[in-house]
Amino acid sequence: MAKLRTIETDVCIVGGGPAGIMLGYLLGRIGVDVVVLEKHADFFRDFRGDTIHPSTLGLLGQLGLRDEFLAIAHSEVRTLDFVVNGTRIHAVDFGELPPPDDFLTFMPQWDFLSFLAGRAKRFPSFRLLMNTAATGVRRAGAAVTGVTATDADGELEVVARLTVAADGRSSTVRAATGLEPREFGVGIDVLWFELPKPPVEPPPTLAYIDRGSLVLTIDRRDHFQAGSVIPKGRFADVRANGLAAFRDSLVHAAKPLAPVVDTLTDWQQVKLLNVQVARLDTWHRPGLLCIGDAAHAMSPAFGVGVNYAIQDAVATANRLAEPLLTGGAGERDLAAIERRRLPPVRAMQALQLRLHAAIAKPNAEPLLASPPTAGQRAALNLMVPVIRRVAPTLIGRGFRPETISEVVVGAP
């Protein structure tokens, strides 16, 4: 019988998403031996968020990677509008943030991850194993001591002083340790599809909101990545009504899309995104830490999923850098990471849930008359300036933006 292949490392990170790759980069930068397992052969996925927030740009700047990152094809957005029942509201102006990180970047996540992974591979202590899926955890008593996995050559095990579950909202590692997230009821799903830009391109618009409809439009330079909110579990009903009815519903909410919706000719072009809001109340076990979507599934609202995953990674590297370099991270360190990151996650999820209740509920009454009444116009004149002051920081930086510690930044 062949001996099981074994890899030994200080830190095993399961999952090559934003949290996993960023943490791997930061630990590799300071010389911690780290192995990242990614179950797929590449980073290309349909539903990975592509919003890079100003706070993440600031972190890349700290690492000396900002200019290289911005040399990759991307879109820069300085303002975001919402069109509510035909009324355009200039709600977000990232120019309110301090330069140079005063804009939002849209870049396909596979480009972002490939960029970070490529830079991380320059560090001798960083290893990225693609096409390698974790299947369970190793244990020594109550402590997690690594993972079991499979790759193209069969089974293997990774022995690690610390295992980090960054393998998404359906985390294999999390499930193997009995950690179960608390689900918060979300009454919507999103249908995800691409559309060409219309001949007359509208101003940057995050969402078109109308009675019973919410349509998202994300600028991907030469086309829109678009989404349509539907009641949860009702995709079959939408399909049964036919593509023509679906196209009509898009135009009803987002009239500028009328010249291009006919490019949707087959339901294969439309993908279902199951919207979740969930989080762990406890992010750690002896020898194990959960971060990113493995610790908290965020709604697409405000596009903050990537940002919060990156913030988790930075907080983790900041706390664990010295312990990992001098002897090992204990439960006290893991608990400190949870205490730091759980409050901002909880606050953002509460805000997302409030947004769903207010505007992301299909078949709700319109938020504004068309045209707005005198009272509604007065309310907008009072509220919109306040939103413009608050939203750039709330969306662009988050409730507790992280700064990379000198220990990590100062490493060669």
Using left for φ > 0, alpha for ψ between -120 and 50, and beta otherwise, residue 84 falls in: beta
Q: pTM, whole model, 2 decimals?
A: 0.91
pLDDT in tens, 137-153: 999 998 999 999 999 99
Q: Domain 5-45+107-184+276-361 carries which CATH code?
A: 3.50.50.60
Out of 149-158, 250-259, 368-377, 388-397, least confident range: 368-377
155 touches 149 (CB < 8 A): yes
Q: How do beta strands 182-184 and 277-279 pair?
A: antiparallel
* Band of pLDDT at residue 220, cut at 50, 70 and 90: confident
Residue 219 is predicted with a pLDDT of: 80
CB atoms within 10 A of CB 197: 18
Rounded Cα distance between 309 and 398, Å, is: 12
Residue 365 is predicted with a pLDDT of: 65
Taking 80 as the threshold, does the pLDDT of residue 130 lie above it? yes
Using left for φ > 0, alpha for ψ between -120 and 50, and beta otherwise, residue 56 falls in: alpha
Residue 80 is predicted with a pLDDT of: 84
Paired residues of 92 in beta bridges = 80
Radius of gyration of the chain (CA): 22
* Band of pLDDT at residue 360, cut at 50, 70 and 90: low
Average pLDDT over residues 86-110: 88
Cα dihedral 244→247→253→255 (10° resolution):
-110
283 touches 163 (CB < 8 A): no
Compute the mean pLDDT over every residue in the chain, rounded to the nearest whole number. 89
Out of 12-26, 86-100, 243-257, least confident range: 86-100
Residue 78 is predicted with a pLDDT of: 87
96 touches 47 (CB < 8 A): no
